[in-house]
Each structure stands twice: as structure tokens, then as C-alpha cells.
Homo-oligomer: A and B are copies of this chain.
Amino acid sequence: MTQTKYKTNSAAELGLANVGSTVTLAGWVDRRRDLGGMTFLDLRDHSGLIQIMVADSAMAKDVRSEYVLQVTGKVAARPEGQVNEHLATGAIEVDAEKITVLSTAAVLPFQVSSVLENEGDNKLPGEDVRLRYRYLDLRRPSMQARLKLRSDIMRAARQSLYSMDFEEIETPTLIKSTPEGARDFVVPSRLQPGSWYALPQSPQLLKQLLMVSGVERYFQFARCYRDEDFRADRQPEFTQLDMEMSYVGQEDVIAMGEKLIHDVWASQGYEVELPIKRIDYKDAMAWYGSDKPDLRFDNKLVDLTEYFKDTPFRVFQASYVGAVRYEGGASLSRREFDAWQEWAKQRGAKGLAYVTFKEDGTIAGSIAKHISDAEREGLMEATGSKLGDAVFFAAGEAEDAQTLLGMVRREIAKRQGLLDPKKFAFCWVVNFPLFRRADDPNDDHVNVGHTNWTSVHHPFTMPSESSLDTFDTDPEHAMSDAYDIVCNGLEMGGGSVRIHRDDIQQRVLKVLGISQEEADEKFGFLLEAFKYGAPPHAGMAIGWDRASAILSGVDSIYDVIAFPKTHSGSDPLTGAPAPISEQQINESGVKEAVAALEADKQ
């Protein structure tokens, strides 16, 4: 279906087989070159580039970069020696017989030429300018390729899920505000002034209701919303591939998720080896200092707590002492080690202790002189190091110290060029605790409960069978049937077995300090639904922006979203958000909501 009103072919369809045919093409002028009375135009359409030869430059006299042209002409083989090996259509050109300007173009704020991009010569402006003129930024073939990849992997994912008997079901996005952790975007109701909808942080409760409704395998590419202070890797709206199954346990969801990931990666030519490795949460922390370990490289953290248990060094008289090896790090200069200190301080650490094992057998570094001779003696062996390596240390509360070492581990790998974007190292992180301390300083979520405990995942996560009797009497050691899927050090998704029994749900809410009244008000509908026969169910979700970025080999999800928002939640292209009219405010119902609030106070 390539032939349309404006063209007979797309550029990439043409080759030597078409020589002699008359074709009509349409596209943008990627580049113009004039040469001895003749003009050469690189015409760019969605399929690629093709050279247009204009024998008489006068025919193209007004034509400039990014004009939209319709060109009719004869396909010709390029003269000997002028074949362009780098271009799919490089063996041919089209000798223009007629050129129609479909649309003119003002001078662009930045270059989008394919040719220049291929040559690495597109000088991109800052992000704000790219987003302000996103329609130009997207014309670059690399951006088009990412949009195409994202479309292709959605197709592959759906195909995979259909093959496993999943149904795609849309759930509403104007819902009731429910406590899922982050802040809701809220939408005032005009018909019921003073009342509000919320945009969903995920379809969590709705997909659980679908299970209670008799759907056994549900999926949806769901738009989700979180009104957080946006970081580089977050968007106020994002897409997740959301899945839920009934009559299943953790093993069933993991098997499903593995087939899905296998099929999605296979669609892009990558073979994911199954089964995917699993790592316990506590091992992930101990070995990699992260609950989303990057397994493209090894270099595990070393636990030296026992090793330093009698140390004279005050800093190491801590509940945890650990280290990470920097292969060949002994050759770093003093200035480079100072820069590492800075790097660590920017990440909230006080500094970063280190030693170097010099080729001459001596030990140097910031803490070398603080530890005992015996400690120096066995240190190389204890840390698995060799002459010429360096070792970074952290000591203190285990989770904090491990987290710091985990960041160091990944930074070392980065500097060593080990973060290959075309290599994909997956793992499941399993055996998470059910609860964590609510005063966790890493918590940027709204605390949904009123005790010292908050859910590691969410309040609907099933305690693991071994914790079923004791999770409320001993929350600290309660484990959950939750699992995360991690790729290359990024959390790509996760899920859990859900609570389907009213009695267990009530006990979990009690640990969180959520009263019956509050529970009823916020998600009483789910608790009520469980009273009418709920099947056991479990599910997971994959962050689709993140998965697309990983497969595209880009760091930023900006590059796989057609129209992303800046860190302040703005769209520099459309100017959203923006003031609205007085009439819109009057009609929205917010005045009534504000007035009701004032009245409540009096």
C-alpha cells in the first residue's frame, strides 16, 4: 500500500531493478548540493534517503533544506564511481522531470539531516530546544528508529501474550484516589463540584477486580500517572505493560514473564537465555549493593566485617565493613582518587576509603596507615585483589554501606567500558521482605500507613507461605511473594502474588496501621469484592519506557517517548501546563472544593 495520492513508491523500495521506470516520490530535502549547473537533492522519506538528480538547477532553484517535495522522474543507475555504499539506494538516483513544492520550510533552529547524522555531524542543541521543536528532533533517523522499535516490541509483546491466552482489557483512568504510594494527579469533577477523580498510578486495584470478575489472564499497556518531583528517569505519565493472572503462583508468573521477555528481545534479534537467573534480595544487596544489580560484569562486593572484627581503626568498628575491587586501580593518580572522594560525597557519603596494592608489594591509600599490620597482610587475598589493583571500602549500617559500594562497583565498570548497551544481563530479584521501616530515608513516597512499617511493594502483596502465621507478630522478618525483573542494573518491572483473602488483607492493614474505616473509605470496594469469592491471583508489570530505552541502547527514556515532559513537568512544545480561562476554572468545580475546605475550618 505504498502508492498514494502523492507518490508511487517509497525511497527504500527502489534499486537497480527499477532502473528505467518513472516514479513519483515525496519527502523532505535532506540536503542540497549544486555542482556545475546541476543540483543533487537527498530526498528523505520514512523509509530512507534517495538521491534526486536535477539536470537543470533552475528546476530546483527555490528549493531549500526541509522543503517538502513531490518529485517525478526516471530511476537511473549512478555513473561508475559515484555509487554510495553507505546508502541502501546508493546505486541509483532519480532524474527529476517534475518537482512540486508541497510545503516550504523556514530556516531550521537546528540541523536534522540524515546525512549529517550518519556522519555524526548533527550538532544537537540542549534538551529544551529539542523538546521545543520536537517535531524536528523526531525527523532524525535515529529517533524514527526508536519510535519504530517501540512499536515493534509492543507488537511482539502482544503476540507473546496472545499466545499465552491473555486478553487485553482497558481499565478506566478517571478513578478514585487510592493509596498506592506516590502522589495522585487529581481532576476536579464539574458535575459533582467538590469531588475529584484521580489519574491511576497503576491499574493495580482494577486488575485485581478483573480477576474477581472471572478474567483469568489480563494485560494492558496502561498509561499511569505519578505526581512526583520528576527525576531524569521519571515522567509524570508513563506506560506500563500490566499483567495479571488467576489460579497462579509466583512460578507461573515468572515463567510467563520469561517467555514474554524472550519473545520481545527475539523480535529485535537478541536471544535471551532461559531460565533467567534468580537472586535473593539479601544476596543482591550483599553481592552487588543494589536490589537491581547490573550483571553484565561480576566484581562482587566483599564482606569484610568478620575480617575487621578486631580492628584498631575506629571507622571500621561498624556493624558492616565491605569493599569493592578496582582492577588496575593502583595506577590512579592522587588527583583521581580525590575526584572519587568528590563523586562519593555527591552521593551522600562522607568519603570513600581506599587502599592500593602497588606492584612493588606495598600498600598505600587513605586508610593504609589506620589498620593493623595483620590486616594489611591478608587484605589482598581477602578482597580477591592482585598487585596493581585498588580497593574501595565502606563501613556503617549494612544497607547504606552496601548501597554506596554498589554505586562504586557500577561506576568502576563504567570507567572500564564494561557497560555494553548491546549486552543484556537479566535477573529476577526474589524473596523480598514484606515490610520495611516507614522512616526509611530513601522513601520519597507518601506514607500510607501510620505505624513504623510500610509495604516494600504495596499493601496488596501476599506474605510468603513461611510468614503467613507470623508476619503480623514479627513484621521485621516477614517475607513476601514478590519479584522484580532487572536488566543491566535497572528495574524493568516487577510484581507479586496478591492477597485474595479478606482475613489476610485485614492483618496486613493492621500492621500498616490503616484502620478499618480508612481502608473502607479508600479501597473498601476491593475488600468487599473479596467477600464474594476471589480466586488466588498474581501478576507483574513492566515499565515500557524503560524496556524500550534498554532495548534501544539509550540512557534516557526521553529518547523513546514521542513527546516527553521536562523535569518540571512542562512540555516546551505546547506550553503545557498553562493557565486556563476563567470560564474553565468556574466550571471545573475547584472553587467549590476550596470553599468547602475553608468552611470545614470554621
A→B interface (CB under 8 Å): 1-2, 4-7, 26-28, 44-46, 66-68, 102-106, 108, 133-136, 138-139, 144, 147-148, 150-151, 154-155, 158, 162, 164-165, 167-177, 183-192, 194-199, 205-206, 209-210, 212-217, 221, 223, 225, 227, 229, 236-237, 239, 245, 247-249, 251-252, 255-256, 500-501, 525, 529-536, 561-565, 568-571, 573-580, 582, 584-585, 587-588, 590-591, 593-594, 596-597, 600
Taking a contact as CB atoms closer than 8 A, the residue among B45, B108, B174 that contacts A216 in the complex is: B45
A186 to chain B, nearest CB (A): 6
Question: What are 28 A-B pairs with beta-carbon distances under 8 A?
Answer: A4-B245, A5-B249, A66-B533, A103-B533, A106-B532, A138-B214, A144-B214, A150-B169, A155-B162, A172-B237, A172-B563, A172-B565, A173-B223, A174-B565, A174-B569, A176-B577, A187-B199, A191-B229, A192-B569, A196-B577, A205-B574, A209-B573, A210-B562, A213-B562, A579-B593, A579-B596, A582-B600, A585-B597
A304 to chain B, nearest CB (A): 41
A581 to chain B, nearest CB (A): 8
| CB pair B594 A585 closer than 8 Å | yes
What are the residues of chain B within 8 A of A164 when measuring CB–CB? 1
| CB pair A105 B532 closer than 8 Å | yes
Q: Specify the chain B residue showing the minimal Cβ separation from A114.
A: B214
| CB pair A584 B184 closer than 8 Å | yes
What are the residues of chain B within 8 A of A251 when measuring CB–CB? 5
A594 to chain B, nearest CB (A): 5
| CB pair A134 B209 closer than 8 Å | yes
| CB pair B525 A197 closer than 8 Å | no
Copies per complex of this chain: 2
Give Cα A101 to B191, complex, Å. Answer: 44
What are the residues of chain B within 8 A of A134 when measuring CB–CB? 209, 213
* The 5 residue pairs across chains A and B that have the minimum distance between CB atoms: A105-B533, A5-B249, A138-B213, A176-B576, A195-B577
| CB pair A102 B186 closer than 8 Å | no
A266 to chain B, nearest CB (A): 17
| CB pair A531 B105 closer than 8 Å | yes
A503 to chain B, nearest CB (A): 10
Give Cα A34 to B192, complex, Å. Answer: 50
A602 to chain B, nearest CB (A): 14
| CB pair B26 A176 closer than 8 Å | no
